[in-house]
Structure 1
Amino acid sequence: MRVPPFYERPTVKRFFAGMILGVIIGWFFFIYQYGQVYEGLVFRISEQQAIINELQDDIDLLRSEQSRLNEENQKKLTVQEIDIQFSNDRRLRLNQLTLLDLKQQALNELQYIKRKDIETVSNMNDLMISNLENKVFRAGDKRYQLEVEHVHLYTTVRIIVKIIPSNS
């Protein structure tokens, strides 16, 4: 049994030549299309990389600005003002001049906490309270002591005190 020699016929030769030519043209078409798609993807990736780099720079700038603002705010959290309020001034019926004098003396005792950061003032809260309570204040010819009822710490230190007439 033998295979007939089809390669000698011109139609078979044209068919195989067409197939080979089709494969070559198809291969070039595939390479061209793949190159176009690949070029588009490379361009798109490079665009996205540029956007990512730009956004990363923006993030770094915002983070550094945020940390700088946080440090400034940390520095701003200092005691700016001291406010002393009396809880029993109406009951004792003290005149305004005596109350003002007591308030000024108490403020003078607490001047050392002004311009200090809130954390430091919070740590020396007991010292501040004992400093006010152990001092005898003179207003006119009478003596008074202060008893601290409540302390509120923030940029304004608010102290509510009770006035106690001193016997000594």
Structure 2
Amino acid sequence: MRIPPYYRIPSWQRFFVGCVLGGIVSWMIFLFIFGSLQEKLSMDILELKSELEEVERQKDIYFEDAKELNEKNERLLTIQTVEVKIANAKKYDLQDSYTIKQAEELLVKELNLVINKDLETIFTNKELIIKLLENKVMKINKKNYTFQVKEMYFFTSLQIVLEMKLA
């Protein structure tokens, strides 16, 4: 197969030179458009990086504030519930769970004044709570009983374990 001799005809020479010049011009236009797009995208990336750094800094500040608030709230916890448990009810033949539950509820009603009080205040006044419970005389099944505090736990709920004694 033979290549036709178009390189000798001036009209074909102009055509090939035009194709080469058109290719060069189009390549220059492509490089210009591609370069401007890359520059725009790199600026967008820089803006997003700075925005991300700002958001991360704000996030760290918020986490520090939240941590400080949590620590402050832990210091200012309040009593939400009061639970009373009579430990030695079986010793006095109080097998009736209804009677024991009723006695525990009466003692809880006595302690309702500590609900929504600051935990630190209640802890510093725990002796008053103990005296309140130990001076309480309760009549159960025609017998008078007093109570002695064995254990007392403080957190958002005040838990007290009592021991019954005949008065």
TM-score w.r.t. length of structure 2: 0.60
Deviations 1:15-72, CA, capped at 9 Å, x for gaps? xxxxxxxxxxxxxxxxxxxxxxxxxxxxxxxx9xx58972544433333343344445
Distance 1:137 1:83 in 2: 18
Contact kept? 1:118, 1:153, Cα under 8 Å: yes
Distance 1:100 1:57 in 2: 53
Contact kept? 1:102, 1:138, Cα under 8 Å: no
The CA deviation at 1:104 is 1.7
The CA deviation at 1:85 is 1.0
Distance 1:122 1:72, change over 3 A: closer
Contact kept? 1:146, 1:162, Cα under 8 Å: yes
Partner of 1:101: 102
2:117 counterpart SS class:
coil
For residues 1-168 of structure 1, the aligned pairs below 5 Å read 54=54, 55-72=56-73, 74=75, 77-94=77-94, 95-166=96-167
1:78 counterpart SS class:
coil
Structure 1: stretches of 5+ with no match in the other structure: 1-46
Distance 1:97 1:61 in 2: 51
The CA deviation at 1:73 is 5.1
The CA deviation at 1:165 is 1.8
1:79 counterpart SS class:
coil
The number of residues matched between the two structures is 120
Structure 2: stretches of 5+ with no match in the other structure: 1-46
TM-score w.r.t. length of structure 1: 0.59
Identity %: 22
Deviations 1:92-137, CA, capped at 9 Å, x for gaps? 1112232122112211111111111211110110000000001111
Distance 2:122 2:102 in 1: 24
Distance 1:65 1:100 in 2: 41
